[in-house]
Amino acid sequence: MYLCFVKPIMFIRKGNYILCCLFFMGALFCLSSCENNLKTVSLITAQDKNLQDVEENASIFYNDSAKTKFHLTSARIEIYGGPDPYTLYPKGVNIDAYDDSAHTDGHLDAGYAIEHLNSKLYEADNNVSVVNRKGERLNTEQLFWDEIKHTIYTNKFVRIKTAKQIIYGDGLISNEDFTQYKITNIRGTIQLDTPEDNDKDKK
């Protein structure tokens, strides 16, 4: 699962369709407004004139060749314009990725996320969790995805659980689908030798 990608989707509302671009992530999902057919944007406020659109309780599917590839949910999505446009997920985001057989291929959730369109830098914060196609789980408090360099990284404390061990450390750099990664400073490792060890640490 790639943490981010660029594909057109339909931003579905009651009686209203807005064409958007979804940049998310297999772990930062990431939404940007490509076209707004509304003649006036009533959601622009005196407090923040760059706010262009708001979507509450969003549930967005991306389909390719009649198959669901990604499903993004978020309690609130805010799209901002101006010289430095960005998309904000102030109440968190959840993304499930699926393979061609409709099996789960990866997952990402975070308590907060932001997508900077110009710099192509995406950030997830607050209880960030990423699961790759092998079932390996990354937990951290902050995670970045650099679309230009095709890497995800963090300088924060990380915990990675695999089928055989749990690794703790500070800092991580990885490829986009979190299948090849390196912990900058490993603090310790716990070996999981029995199924009971895995059962005790499913969270």
Digits of tens for pLDDT over the chain (203 positions)? 444 433 333 333 332 322 233 334 333 333 333 334 333 334 444 345 589 999 999 999 988 888 888 899 999 999 999 899 999 999 999 999 888 888 888 899 999 999 999 999 999 999 999 999 899 999 999 999 998 999 999 999 999 999 999 999 999 999 988 999 999 999 999 999 865 555 555 55
The pLDDT of residue 160 = 97
Give the pLDDT score at 116.
Answer: 93
pLDDT attached to residue 16: 30
pLDDT at 69: 86
Q: Exposed/middle/buried for 116, CB within 10 Å: 0-12, 13-18, 19+? A: middle
Contact 76, 53 (CB under 8 A): no
Exposure of 187 in the CB half-sphere (CA atoms within 13 A):
11
Report DSSP state, residue 28. Answer: -
Chain Cα centroid distance, residue 184: 22
Contact yes or no for 187/202 (Cβ under 8 A): no
> What structural domains and CATH numbers belong to the chain?
7-200 (2.60.450.10)
pLDDT for residue 197? 53
Which token pair is 190? Answer: 């716990």
Residue 100: the pLDDT is 82
Nearest to 128 by CA among 6, 1, 3, 2: 3
pTM of the model: 0.71
Give the residue from 199, 151, 154, 197 showing the smallest Cα distance to 178. 151
Find all residues with CB under 8 Å of 197, minimum gap 6, and list them: none
